[in-house]
A and B are shown apart, each in its own frame.
Chain A
Amino acid sequence: MNTTKFIGEQLLPGQIGYFLTILTLVASLLATFAFAKAFFSKELTVQSQWNKLAKIAFYIEAVSVFSCFIVLFYIISNHLFEYKYAYMHSDKNLPYQYLLSCFWEGQEGSFLLWSFWHCVLGLFVLARLKKWNNNINGVMMVLNFVQFCLATMVVGLFIFESKLGSSPFLLLREEMNWPILSRPDYLHLIKDGTGLNTLLQNYWMVIHPPILFLGFASTTIPFGFAVVGLIKKEHDWMDRCLPWATFSAGILGLGIMMGAAWAYESLTFGGYWAWDPVENASLVPWLTLVSAIHACIIYRKTGGSLKTTYLFFGISFLLVLYSTFLTRSGILGDTSVHAFTDLGMNAQLLGFLLIFVIPYFALFVVRIKSMITPQKEDEIKSREFWMLVGSLILFLSAVVIIAITSIPVFNKLFGTKIAPPEDAAFAHNQVQVFVAIIIGMLTAIGQFLKFKGTTGDYFKEKIKLPLLISLVASALVYIFVGVLYTEKGIGFTGALYVALFASIFTVVANLFYFISVQKGKLKSAGASIGHIGFGMVLVGILISSSNKTVLSWNTTGISPLRMESNKNPAGNPKENITLFEGIATDMGKYMVTYVKDTFDVLDKRFFELNFKEKGTNHEFLLYPDVLKNNKGMEGFSANPSSKHYWNKDIFVYVTSFQDHSKDDTTKFIPHQMAIGDSIFYSNGIIKLDKVLINPNPNRPAGSNELVLQLSITSKEGLKYQANPSIVLQGMNLQANLDTVKAQNIVLGFNKVVDQKNGVLEIGLKESASLTNLITLKVYEFPFINILWIGIIVMVFGFGIATMNRVKKLRAK
């Protein structure tokens, strides 16, 4: 037994935390059981008794989760480094707003966050669905069972030698076997935590995880409805479910794209989306959820696609669990840059997934026969037919994405060694561009078709004008913006053109529908506005990605020799250019000068870059920065900076820079030379062209000046001039040095060695730390704002749809 008394530890918060996690576990299990009892019983009195008990258990659970949240935040914000979570994820210098990011940097905190949202949603379900029948107990049963599973993830109990979950309230000394942790005064030796990963110190990381997890948590509600429907064989839940589903899709979409905005602003893969497994894993449930919403609408209007609705709502939630498994089990390892670390809970995570997948599909299969849909021939000229086609395509696109993302799982299962293709992003793009085309077209025309068949020339009449406008608008975009991306051949470029038309058509047709058919009434226009936003997102993605141009195209630092021999498999990634402090460098439209660097309180180093547009007086400053890495990592992480225009972004980030921590110890080396002589330096040749005597007529009276005219030619063929001089005034001799920063050399005129033969001595110093230099990449993303605005419009559309349905339900 450990009987050492440790000094300065605050054990109470941890003990409270442990107690609360166990309380949550027990309360959620009890709530699940009680809600189930109420749900399955047929007698009203029994139902209400169990319901009362279940509610009490759920309230206790909710209070317990909220308190848990507060306790963990207390530990982090008070820097109680005796707790492993605080030590691993925070430090004392962290600005206050990032303390929240510490909370969800680790798996345990993010599970708590997820659980937190379930509690909030559960309270809403209880409040809103009061008047609904007994089936509300079924939804709450499912929600609480998910809660129970989440609670096991953070409880950190040992059961029969195996660990169940990982507690955020573990003490550092319980987890680590560092020698000092056995000392009573160890806490004095731990001065600071290892901090929050520098990449996560970004305001998007404060807001993106909560929104995303609200999105994840909210998929549980439609899933709960679907489970209830399957068990009871009653399909009247769709009306009540729809606002929850549209809310969920809106929030999840927003959360995903906030992650994209974070990637755009703080990661250096040069964009907002990289088809990274973690990104895919969160996108896929969104796609299936959108499919599910459309299938659900079809069922409500026509009674068709009932099975599809059940399947899609179920799969959306199950994919959230599958994503959780992918990103948290460490299975993605080599393929993703940002998965959580393996906490050794793989079996438990897999269990969490299977405990929902197997019963749901079993139940679904059992019930398939009882789901009767109208046996009539589908009407081609109907909205539901094309809506169903669209949602099937969206769903299959999700299947393709998740199949590709699951390659590491496949490798693990079958011991294969399959790796992603050479151009992994293109492998996705070449498929998804066709999805975008079809979905874009369907979203455009779908609105002008009516449920259960469109009669007469209604469709032709209505679609004429939007089609015409879209064709003209696309033609204008083709002419003035175009598609610059031709790397993958004519087929793909052609597809990009068609996709661009399809997405413009989506925006125009839905806008047209909103104005001419819905008469601009916002109330019922959730769908049109959502679709307009979706079309804008597609337009923004297509234009900004296919016309992304590299401004920092490196034409200076390449020697002709290497150009010839360079058969680079990756095409030409010479996108990095080196800038020397104070020297303007040509970058296409701009002359760019690296002005200086500044440090802020956190030791973040900002590089001030001056961009001056050629031919105009327009100039602006950008401040990309680098921050010293923490967590025992050497080196730095870079944050991009961008200049936003209404029609484009200039996006820049530093890829390497020189660290001036070392003193300059290099010395001048003397060289003797006469006019016409040349000497070598490490990167080229220096020639003495001329000696000018008193070239400056305004020199002080009585002084004499000797100025050397040196021409320097680097190996790359770049030419520079240097004019070191000596000035003799009376008995005073003053030497003026000259530097060629771009070549890291300093030249001085030391003395005249032999006046008759004109032999002079010059001093040459080569020093790597002479100048500050940075290497950077500069991109131009045209019209990226359409993407961001599109997201906002789309989320707004989902919001309107949700509100409208809630109002309709209330009116009933």
Chain B
Amino acid sequence: MKKTHLVLLVLIAAAIVVLISYTGDLSSYETIGSAKQKEGKFVNLIVKMDKSVAFQYDPVKDPNLLQFNVQDSLGGKIAVVYHNTMPTDMEKSERLVLKGKVQGDHFECSAIVMKCPSKYKDNPNTMKEQPVTISN
């Protein structure tokens, strides 16, 4: 067996080990209900804002505290605490991906990914509707 083959085997083994160890770090998408069952475990929630409860954010008092409520498609609801600034347009976004863990009665959120009607590019489906700005 040539030395290069040996090296190749070792390296491929290393890459496989790396990938397998990586799977240990992976998290999962959960519903609010199932996330509550796994209190303290890092999960991803796909939710939208619960507009029936006003969000609380006051940069004068603490720019790093945002509290709001969310609900998911199954009707589960939970309060969210996010220790960071409020993302621009959060209330406008139709879908939020929250990363964090359930702690007691609320969800401690560490990151928010927003899905806006037009986040980076235009969404052709929403653009099919006539914009309000253009009217006869």
- A residues sitting closer than 8 Å to B (CB atoms) are 88, 105-106, 175-180, 183, 189-191, 194, 197, 199, 304-305, 333-334, 337-341, 343-344, 377-378, 380, 385, 388-389, 392-393, 396, 399-400, 403-404, 407, 417-423, 427, 431, 554, 557-559, 562, 566-570, 572-578, 629, 631-638, 655-656, 658, 683, 715-716, 744, 768, 773, 775
With A378-B2, A417-B28 as contacts: A631 and B42 at CB distance below 8 Å: no
- For the complex, is B63 an interface residue (Cβ under 8 Å from A)? yes
Instruction: Assess whether A176 is in contact with B18, with CB atoms less than 8 Å apart.
Output: no
Contacts of A404 in B (CB 8 A): 22
Bound-state Cα–Cα, A774 to B129, Å: 35
B83 touches A427 (CB 8 A): no
A369–B29 Cα distance when bound, in Å, is 46
B: residues with CB less than 8 A from A are: 2-4, 7-8, 11-12, 14-15, 18-19, 22, 25-30, 42-44, 46, 59-65, 83-86, 88-89, 92, 97, 99-101, 103, 108-111, 113, 115-124, 126-131, 134-136
In addition to A199-B120, A634-B92, 16 A-B residue pairs with Cβ atoms within 8 Å of each other are A177-B128, A179-B136, A189-B134, A334-B46, A337-B119, A339-B120, A341-B123, A378-B2, A385-B4, A557-B61, A572-B83, A573-B84, A575-B64, A629-B89, A632-B126, A775-B59
Q: Determine if A400 and B130 form an interchain contact, defined as CB atoms under 8 angstroms apart.
A: no
Is the beta-carbon distance between A576 and B15 smaller than 8 angstroms?
no
In the complex, chain A residues whose CB is within 8 Å of the CB of B131: 194, 632
- How long is the Cα–Cα vector from A355 to B19 in the complex, in angstroms? 28
**Docked CA distance A194–B124 (Å):** 13
| Alpha-carbon separation in the docked complex, A385 to B42 (Å) | 44
Instruction: Indicate whether A396 sits within 8 Å of B115 (C-beta atoms), given known contacts A569-B42, A576-B63.
Output: no
Establish whether residues B2 and A377, one from each chain, have CB atoms under 8 Å apart when the complex forms: yes
In the assembly, what is the distance between CA of A199 and CA of B109, in Å?
A: 26
Chain A's nearest CB lies how many Å from the CB of B17? Answer: 10
User: What are 13 inter-chain pairs, A to B, with CB distance below 8 A?
Assistant: A106-B121, A190-B134, A197-B120, A199-B120, A341-B120, A396-B12, A419-B28, A419-B99, A573-B84, A578-B60, A635-B88, A656-B63, A716-B61
State whether B60 touches A744 (Cβ < 8 A). Answer: yes
Among residues of A, the one whose C-beta sits closest to the C-beta of B40 is A569
In Å, the complex CA distance between A418 and B44 comes to: 9
Interface centre among A427, A655, A658 (most CB of B within 10 A): A655
A392 touches B11 (CB 8 A): yes
Asked, given contacts A567-B108, A656-B86, whether A189 binds B136 with beta carbons under 8 Å apart, the answer is yes
With the chains together, A393 CA to B131 CA distance in Å? Answer: 52
Given known A-B contacts A632-B131, A634-B92, A421 and B63 have beta carbons under 8 A apart = no
- Which residues on the A side are within 8 Å of B28 (C-beta)? 417-419
Among candidates A197, A392, A569, residue contacting B7 with C-beta atoms closer than 8 Å = A392
Cβ contact within 8 Å between B4 and A176:
no
The residue in chain B whose Cβ has the minimal distance to the Cβ of A191 is B134
In whole Å, how far is B15's beta carbon from the nearest beta carbon of chain A?
A: 4
The 8 Å CB contact of A635, one of B84, B85, B92, is B92
- Please indicate the chain A residues that have their CB under 8 angstroms from the CB of B110 in the complex: 422, 568-570, 573
Q: Is the CB of B83 within 8 A of A637?
A: no
Are A421 and B27 in contact (CB-based, < 8 A)? yes
Contact status B22-A566, CB under 8 Å: no
- Contact among B84, B111, B115, B120 for A338, CB-based, below 8 A: B120
Residues of A within 8 A of B124 (CB): 175, 341, 343-344
Inter-chain CA distance A308–B2, complex, in Å, is 15
Q: Which residues of B contact A569 (CB under 8 A)?
A: 42, 100-101, 103, 108-110
Q: Find chain B residues with CB under 8 A from A393 CB.
A: 11
A-B contact count (CB 8 A): 200
Whether B122 lies near A194 (C-beta < 8 A) is yes
Please give the distance in Å from B1's CB to the nearest CB on chain A. 10
Chain A interface secondary structure, helix, strand, loop or mixed? Answer: loop
B3 near A385 with CB under 8 A, answer yes
| CB pair B122 A631 closer than 8 Å | yes
Cα distance A393–B14 in the bound complex, in angstroms: 10
A418 to B108, CA, bound (A): 20
Contact of B84 among A106, A178, A179, A576 (CB under 8 A): A576
Identify the closest chain A residue to B119 (Cβ).
Answer: A337
With A and B bound together, what is the CA distance between A744 and B60 in angstroms?
9
Q: How far is the CB of B103 from chain A (nearest CB, A)?
A: 7
A420 touches B27 (CB 8 A): yes
* Interface-central residue, B86, B88, B110, B113, by most chain A CB under 10 Å: B88
Q: Beyond A88-B127, A380-B3, is A337–B27 a contact (Cβ under 8 Å)?
A: no
A574 touches B46 (CB 8 A): no
In the bound complex, how far is the Cα of B60 from the Cα of A220, in angstroms? 55
Q: Is the CB of A418 within 8 A of B88?
A: no
Q: Which of A178, A629, A634 contacts B129 (CB 8 A)?
A: A178
A418 and B26 within 8 A (CB): yes
Q: How far, in angstroms, from A423 to B7 measured CA to CA in the complex?
A: 31
Expressed in whole angstroms, the Cα–Cα distance for A578 and B86 within the complex equals 13
Chain B residue at smallest Cβ distance from A423: B25
Is the beta-carbon distance between A176 and B26 smaller than 8 angstroms? no
Question: By the criterion CB–CB under 8 Å, are B15 and A655 in contact?
Answer: no
A190 contact set on B, CB distance < 8 A: 134
Distance in Å from the Cβ of B113 to the closest Cβ of chain A? 6
Question: Is there an interface contact between A633 and B60, defined as CB atoms closer than 8 Å?
Answer: no
Given contacts A178-B129, A343-B124, whether A421 and B26 have CB atoms under 8 Å apart is yes
Which listed residue, A199, A567, A768, touches B103 by the CB 8 Å rule?
Answer: A567
Given A341-B122, A568-B108, A573-B64, is A775 in contact with B85 using a C-beta cutoff of 8 Å? yes
Whole-angstrom CA separation of A569 from B128 in the bound complex: 41
Which of the residues B27, B92, B121 comes within 8 Å of A341, measured between beta carbons? Answer: B121
Q: Which residues of B contact A744 (CB under 8 A)?
A: 60
Question: Which chain A positions have C-beta within 8 A of B4?
Answer: 304-305, 378, 385, 388-389
A180 touches B136 (CB 8 A): yes
The distance in angstroms between the C-alpha atoms of A175 and B125, with both chains bound, is 11
A40 to B120 CA separation, bound complex (whole angstroms):
46
- For residue A164, give the distance in angstroms from its CB to the closest CB of chain B: 17
Contact A562 to B65, CB < 8 A, known contacts A393-B11, A570-B83, A656-B86: yes
* Residues on A with beta carbons closer than 8 Å to the beta carbon of B25: 421-423, 427
Asked whether A633 and B117 contact (CB < 8 A) given A189-B136, A773-B59, the answer is: yes
Within the complex, the shortest CB–CB distance from B67 to chain A, in Å, comes to 11
Choose among A178, A199, A304, A407 the residue that contacts B134 (Cβ–Cβ < 8 A). A178
Q: Is the CB of B3 within 8 A of A378?
A: yes
Contact: A337 with B120, CB < 8 Å?
yes
How many angstroms from the CA of A633 to the CA of B116 in the assembled complex? 8
Q: Which residues of B contact A574 (CB under 8 A)?
A: 64, 83
Contacting B89 at CB < 8 Å: which of A337, A578, A634, A716? A634
- Bound form: Cα–Cα A775–B124 in Å: 34
Chain A residues near B136: list those with CB within 8 A.
179-180, 183, 189
How far apart are B51's CB and chain A's nearest CB, in angstroms? 15
Chain B residue with minimal CB distance to A88? B122
A residues within 8 A CB of B117?
Answer: 632-633
Q: Nearest-CB distance from A689 to chain B (Å)?
A: 25
Whether A417 pairs with B29 at a CB distance below 8 angstroms is yes
Provide the bound-state CA to CA distance between A572 and B135, in Å. 48
Within the assembled complex, what's the spacing in Å between the Cα atoms of A385 and B8?
A: 11
User: Least Cβ distance of B38 to chain A in Å?
Assistant: 13
Asked if residues A334 and B92 are in contact (CB atoms below 8 Å), the reply is no
Enumerate chain A residues within 8 angstroms of B88, measured Cβ to Cβ.
Answer: 629, 635-638, 656
| Residue in A194, A380, A633, A658 whose Cβ sees the most chain B Cβ within 10 Å | A633
Residue from B19, B83, B124 with most neighbouring chain A CB atoms (10 Å):
B83
| Leading 4 A-B pairs by shortest Cβ distance | A570-B110, A178-B130, A421-B25, A655-B85
Most-contacted residue by chain A among B85, B109, B116 (CB, 10 A): B85
Among the listed B19, B27, B89, B127, which residue makes an inter-chain contact with A176, where contact means beta carbons less than 8 Å apart?
Answer: B127
The answer to whether A558 touches B62, judged by C-beta atoms less than 8 angstroms apart, is yes
On whether the beta carbons of A422 and B27 are closer than 8 Å, the reply is: yes
Interchain nearest-CB distance for B102 vs A (Å): 10
Task: Give the chain A neighbours of B12 by CB distance below 8 A.
Answer: 396
Using Cβ atoms and an 8 Å threshold, which residues of chain A touch B30?
417
